[in-house]
Amino acid sequence: AITAKCVLAEGTRAITEARDYGLRAPETTSDEIGALAHSFNEMLVQIEARERELAHELNERMRAEERLDRLAHFDTVTSLPNRYYFNERLVDAVHRANRFSEPMALLFLDLDNFKIVNDTLGHHVGDELLRLVAMRLSGIVRSGDSLCRIGGDEFALILPNVADHAQAEIIAAKCIKAVSGPIDIEGSEIYVTVSIGIGLCPQDASVASDLLKHADTAMYHAKELGRDNG
């Protein structure tokens, strides 16, 4: 004879093996066994609902963590990696250059006279200008390069496997050319130029912070030479 114990045991075994709380015990009788099966199924309904709630909460938490991670590592104006990401990536690139003898270059880019655009046309135009410049620069970087916005009107380009200044200068010239064309924003035709400083690892520096200082100094030297220089 079928007993209440058998009903519970069989139902529990099937759910455990299938890992599926959507399974139900058969409610074929109206006696004690049928009532037990009904109660068992009601419990499964509640468990299944709670499983869905937990899965939803987990998905929401994962999405929130992804949003926070993106906010922590990416610039909201240009969608480029931000300074936090840049610092991590630069340390890693310098480490590889030193450990595996894979020379790399750092380009420090600063838009010329960007403050004038902000002051005369407004910050919303300045933000749009930064976004469009970022798009132009993204269009010429190589696979494996890391283009970042590190603050204000400053960008940085990490270039692995660049052996000398001549090779870095070729890429810098491409950046200057990509940025130099007129940019139309809200009916205003804006011309923007960029000054670029170059630092090589390990030739110029073998520590990330020193390499950044070297490229930054080189960028200011380029501005002194008349801007729109690399």
3-state secondary structure of 46: helix
Question: Quick check: 11 and 23 in contact, CB under 8 A?
Answer: yes
Nearest to 90 by CA among 147, 130, 142: 147
Instruction: Write down the catalytic residue from 153, 164, 204, 228.
Output: 153
CB contact set of 168 (below 8 Å; sequence gap of 6+): 105, 107, 159, 162, 198, 200
153 is catalytic: yes
Q: Are 129 and 63 in contact (CB under 8 A)?
A: no
- Residue closest to 137 by CA, chosen among 126, 127, 148, 128: 148
The rounded distance, in Å, linking the Cα atoms of 72 and 102 is: 29
**CA–CA distance, 108 with 114 (Å, rounded to integer):** 16
Q: Which residues contact 12 (CB under 8 A, 6 or more apart)?
A: none
Q: Which residues are catalytic?
A: 153
